[in-house]
């Protein structure tokens, strides 16, 4: 057996400050997306299949990224003051706090550029944060329209064409059902996002009644177009809500606050990006310029000296 050397591994103050940034950023982003889902559904009646859903989702993700960055900037100072590492009166500016070991808090690397001071630069920082946030969200597999709640009778927030099969008017065959169970395990119920081992219903999308009505439209009949349906995995609870909704011709939205995916971590990943060492290409892309940050660093270094003398 390998013997590991005894090493005391302790969370340093700087680590705590960084962790506070990640937590604040991650939680804030998640809360913004949940709030947006609620507002889109309850106030605006937007579902994942609505035309406005993509735009609403982009707005939510960019706002969420900026709020996450703001919260992350506040977190180290708040934590330092709360734990008594820094006296309240030394909480000089938003987000800027120097810890007792003389190192600058991780808020130096703020994407929002609080350190930049000038208004235009802060605005630029905010725009950059929104852009990087949206790229991360997409990169982590997010779909902007999927921020909205699902309409049970339409492709839901977790609908993914790759997880569907061509369908006729009849029910899914046992073989198709097995494949749909696998798709369900990978992508979740297309309406609520729930993942489970098997027991998915092969959901016709659009639903049969809707497809038949759509095919009856005069221009589709004239051109001889029959609406093509696909099977997509749906869990049993959502399936019965859908049957009720289609039968009674009611629009029912399903919310998916607890179905978390990788892209929900965008706020935390944004902070990981902003904590990367201040060198290299990424730095040039994300931080305004190194001189500015290092000048600020030196200035703060002096301020730290003053504080210790007191």
Applying CB under 5 A, the residues found at the interface with Zn ion are: 189, 191-192, 194, 235, 238
Q: Which is nearer to Zn ion, 251 or 298 (CB)?
A: 251
CA separation (Å) from 76 to 82, 83, 220, 243?
10, 11, 60, 50
Q: Which is nearer to Zn ion, 143 or 194 (CB)?
A: 194
Measure the CA–CA gap between 142 and 279, rounded to whole angstroms: 29
**DSSP collapsed to 3 states, the chain:** CCCCCCCCCCCCHHHHHHHHHHHHHHHHHHHHHHHHHHHHHHCCCCCCCCCCHHHHHHHHHHHHHHHHHHHHHHHHHHHHHHCCCCCHHHCCECCECECCCCCECHHHHCCCCHHHCCHHHHHHHHHHHHHHHHHHHHHCCCCHHHHCCEECCCCCCCCCHHHCEEECCCCCCHHHHHHHHHHHHHHCCCCCCCCCCCCCEEEEECCHHHHHHHHCCHHHHHHCCCCCEEEEEECHHHHHHHHHHHHHCCCCEECCCCCCCHHHHHHHHHHHHHHCCCCHHHHHHHCCCHHHHHHHHHHHHHHHHHHHHC
Please, what is the minimum distance in Å from the beta carbon of residue 257 to Zn ion? 13
Measure the CA–CA gap between 150 and 191, rounded to whole angstroms: 5
Q: Which is nearer to Zn ion, 37 or 80 (CB)?
A: 37
Please, what is the minimum distance in Å from the beta carbon of residue 137 to Zn ion? 23
Q: Which is nearer to Zn ion, 125 or 184 (CB)?
A: 184
Q: Which is nearer to Zn ion, 179 or 195 (CB)?
A: 195
Please, what is the minimum distance in Å from the beta carbon of residue 156 to Zn ion? 8
Measure the CA–CA gap between 98 and 111, rounded to whole angstroms: 18
Please, what is the minimum distance in Å from the beta carbon of residue 160 to Zn ion? 14
Please, what is the minimum distance in Å from the beta carbon of residue 184 to Zn ion? 9
Q: Which is nearer to Zn ion, 40 or 191 (CB)?
A: 191
Q: With 0-12 CB in 10 A as exposed, 13-18 as middle and 19+ as buried, what is 151?
A: buried
Q: Which is nearer to Zn ion, 138 or 195 (CB)?
A: 195
Q: Which is nearer to Zn ion, 53 or 238 (CB)?
A: 238
Q: Which is nearer to Zn ion, 34 or 80 (CB)?
A: 34
Please, what is the minimum distance in Å from the beta carbon of residue 235 to Zn ion? 3
Please, what is the minimum distance in Å from the beta carbon of residue 230 to Zn ion? 17
Please, what is the minimum distance in Å from the beta carbon of residue 250 to Zn ion? 18
Please, what is the minimum distance in Å from the beta carbon of residue 37 to Zn ion? 15
């Amino acid at each position: 057996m390998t013997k590991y050397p005894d090493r005391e591994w302790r969370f340093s103050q700087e680590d705590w400050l960084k962790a506070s940034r990640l937590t604040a950023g991650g939680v804030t982003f998640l809360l913004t997306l949940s709030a947006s889902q609620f507002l889109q559904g309850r106030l605006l009646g937007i579902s994942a299949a609505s035309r406005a859903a993509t735009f609403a989702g982009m707005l939510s993700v960019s706002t969420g990224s900026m709020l996450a960055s703001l919260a992350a900037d506040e977190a180290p100072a708040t934590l330092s003051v709360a734990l008594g590492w820094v006296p309240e009166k030394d909480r000089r500016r938003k987000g800027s706090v120097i810890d007792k070991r003389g190192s600058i808090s991780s808020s130096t690397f703020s994407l929002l550029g609080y350190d930049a001071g000038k208004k235009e630069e802060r605005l630029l920082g905010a725009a950059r944060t929104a852009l990087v946030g949206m790229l991360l969200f997409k990169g982590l597999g997010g779909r902007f329209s999927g921020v909205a709640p699902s309409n049970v009778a339409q492709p839901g927030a977790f609908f993914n064409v790759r997880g569907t099969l061509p369908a006729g008017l009849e029910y899914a065959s046992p073989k198709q059902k097995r494949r749909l169970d696998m798709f369900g395990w990978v992508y979740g119920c297309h309406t609520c996002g729930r993942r489970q081992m098997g027991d998915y219903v092969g959901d016709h999308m659009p639903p049969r009644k809707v497809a038949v009505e759509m095919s009856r439209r005069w221009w589709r009949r004239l051109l001889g177009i029959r609406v093509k349906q696909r099977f997509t995995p749906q869990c049993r609870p959502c399936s019965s809500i859908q049957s009720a909704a289609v039968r009674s011709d009611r629009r029912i939205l399903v919310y998916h606050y607890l179905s978390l995916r990788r892209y929900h971590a965008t706020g935390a990943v944004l902070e990981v990006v902003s904590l990367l060492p201040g060198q290299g290409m990424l730095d040039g892309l994300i931080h305004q310029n190194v001189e500015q940050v290092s000048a600020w660093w030196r200035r703060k270094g002096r301020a730290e000296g003053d504080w210790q003398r007191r």
